Amino acid sequence: MQIGIVIEGQMGLTYERQRALAQRVESLGFAAFYRTDHYESFPGPDDQPTTDAWSVLAGIARETQRIAIGTLVSPVTFRHPGNLAKIAATVQEMAGRQIHVGLGAGWQESEHRRHGFDFPDMPVRAEMLEEQLTVLRGLWTGGDGWSFDGRHYHVSDARFRSRPEPTPFVITGGEGSPRGMRIAAAFADEFNVTSATPESAREKFAALDAACRAAGRDPATLARSAMTGMLIGRDTSSLADSVARFMERVGAAGDAEAYMAPRRARWVTGTPSEAAERIRAFRDAGAQRLLLQHFLPNEDEPLDLLAEVVASL
């Protein structure tokens, strides 16, 4: 199973820090580096500096050589699909390797309001997501003259130069709604399940297989991954310190044990042996890739420790 690292890039991280993280992730042998795509800082203080995800990835594309890089995920509300298709193709050219495009319906209402983005109701955003995926695929692969007349987007007589080769790797996902699975079966290269335990991930992947078969797609052609939090420590004392620093960072009050109790079933957390057990559980549930949210991104030690854990599997 491959391991990727995800950072919450909107939480006060400068470009330089994100670049350094990506390079460290690559040097440690992990498979991928992703960042969220948000313009407002959260959780925690909402006045921290933020950066644009795709601008950051363009820089990182030139500063790394091997790892997959991309967004998890870009909201459909931020960019017109023609714009995103060109951005992704350009970053892929800069990287010299396939770029990963995670795309979702968006959810953070306040950052839309504060940056002037429309934020329609969820059913409309889901419809926009399907159309945006149609346009991306069409511009990248549809050939000259490709056209599309949807409810939200319209393309006429496409002339996309140059078409990216290979086509960017498209990731969709979420908590596993029926519509989300139908969208993945129709458009995605990978389905990424979030907020899942290994047990619920296994159930979601089985439902995904059924959605693929209903769409006439071989389930084996749709990769599946799980994204979950990561808080690990070399021993119980260092783990407790990490939990305390994370809680302070996100503004979480109260007892650490009570805070962690509902999250342990979903996150990779604990000492190295406990973390290894959780990773194996996700692997055995059918996750081909495990994408771990690095919750203390100003620290390198958790990544170093995770690399030791992965090497021991």
Q: What is the pLDDT of residue 191?
A: 98
Report cis status (omega within 30 of 0) of the bond before 43: yes
The residue range of the domain holding 112 is 2-312
Q: What phi and psi values does residue 14 have, to the nearest 5 degrees? A: -75, 165
Asked if residue 6 lies in contact with residue 13, where contact means CB atoms within 8 angstroms, the answer is no
Q: What is the pLDDT of residue 46?
A: 85
How many domains does the chain fold into?
1
Sign of CA dihedral 79, 81, 82, 87: positive
Q: What is the pLDDT of residue 86?
A: 98
Residue stretches of the chain with pLDDT short of 70: none
DSSP tag of 268: E
List pLDDT tens digits, range 198-228.
999 999 999 999 999 999 999 999 999 999 9
List pLDDT tens digits, range 102-136.
999 999 999 999 999 999 999 999 999 999 999 99
Q: What is the CATH number for 105?
A: 3.20.20.30
